[in-house]
Amino acid sequence: MATAPIGVLGGTFDPVHYGHLRLAQELGELLRLDEVRLVPSGTPPHRGAPDVAGEHRLAMARLAAQGNARLKVEDREVRRAGPAYTFDTLEELRAEAGGTRPLVLLVGADAFLEFATWHRWHEIFGLAHVVVAHRPGFPVGRWSERMPQPLAREYSARLMQQPLAVHLSPAGGVVAAAITALDISATAIRDMLRAGRSPRYLLPDSVLDYIQTHRLYS
Ligand code: ATP
C-alpha cells in the first residue's frame, strides 16, 4: 500500500496559471510528493462566485495538468452541492487514504494569512500538514507578526524546519517554503483578457486556447 504523502492544492483556478503549476511542481519536488491533487473549488465560502463555471475551471485544470504524472485533478468540490470547504475535502481524503498516510495541504502565503477565517481551520491541522509557499506581494519576513494571534500561535508551535518531516507523521506540522517568485494572479489574467490584452506566457497555451474557444472572461 502506498504511504507517500499526498499533496492537495485547492483554489478557484479561475483560471489556472503558472503560479499554481510552479507551486505544485516545486513543493512536489521539495517534499517528495508522488501526487499533487489540484482541487478546483465549487462555491468558495470566502469570496464572491468565480467568474466561470466549475466545469470550465475543471477543464482548464485538466489541460494544465496534462503530461505531468505527478498532477491529478479532482472534481469533488465542483460536484459537491453547496459550499466547498477545504475541511470537508480533507476529511474525505483522510477517510480514503487511511489514518497513517500523510496529507499535505499546499497554500500560498496570501491564503495562509486568511487561514484563521476558514471553516474549522483549527481541525485542519488534525487532518493534514500545511505547507506555505512564498508569494510575491506577501513578504514572509517576520510575517507571523501579521497573522492574527491564534494563527500565529499555531504557526510557531507547529513549524517544522525540515520539509521532509511531512513524511514522518500523518498531519499537524507547518512548513514554510520559498519557491520561484512568480507575480502571477488569476485576477490579473482576467483583467488582461477583459482589456483585450493577452495573458500569453502567464499560463499554458492549452488553457489560453480553451479560454478563447469558449469566449471566457471577455
Ligand atoms: P485570484 O487572483 O482570482 O484571487 P489566485 O491567482 O490567487 O486567484 P487561487 O486559485 O485563488 O489563485 O489560488 C490557489 C492557491 O494557489 C492559493 O493557495 C494561492 O495562494 C496559491 N497561488 C496562486 N498564485 C500563486 C503564485 N503566483 N505564487 C504562489 N502561490 C500562488
Question: In whole angstroms, what is the distance from residue 40 CA to residue 60 CA?
Answer: 10
Instruction: Give the fold, CATH level 3, of 6-212.
Output: Rossmann fold (3.40.50)
CA angle, corner 209, sides to 207 and 212, nearest 5?
110
Rg, Å, the chain Cα set:
17
| Residue nearest (by alpha carbon) to ligand 1 atom 7 | 185
> Ligand 1: residues whose CB is within 6 Å?
11-14, 19-20, 23, 107-108, 110-111, 133, 135, 182, 184-187
Residue to substitute in 12, 77, 89, 130 for testing ligand 1 pocket (most ligand atoms within 8 angstroms of CB): 12
Question: In whole angstroms, what is the distance from residue 24 CA to residue 116 CA?
Answer: 23
Q: Output the CA 182–ligand 1 centroid distance in Å.
A: 10
Three cell numbers at 175?
512548513
Per residue in 44-99, pLDDT (tens digit) is: 556 667 789 999 999 999 999 999 999 999 999 999 987 889 999 999 999 999 99
Question: In whole angstroms, what is the distance from residue 88 CA to residue 151 CA?
Answer: 20
Say what the pTM is. 0.96
For residues 87, 88, 93, 96, the Cα torsion angle rounded to the nearest 10 degrees is: 140
Question: In whole angstroms, what is the distance from residue 113 CA to residue 110 CA?
Answer: 5
Per residue in 125-164, pLDDT (tens digit) is: 999 999 999 999 987 777 888 899 999 999 999 999 999 9
Q: Output the CA 10–ligand 1 centroid distance in Å.
A: 9
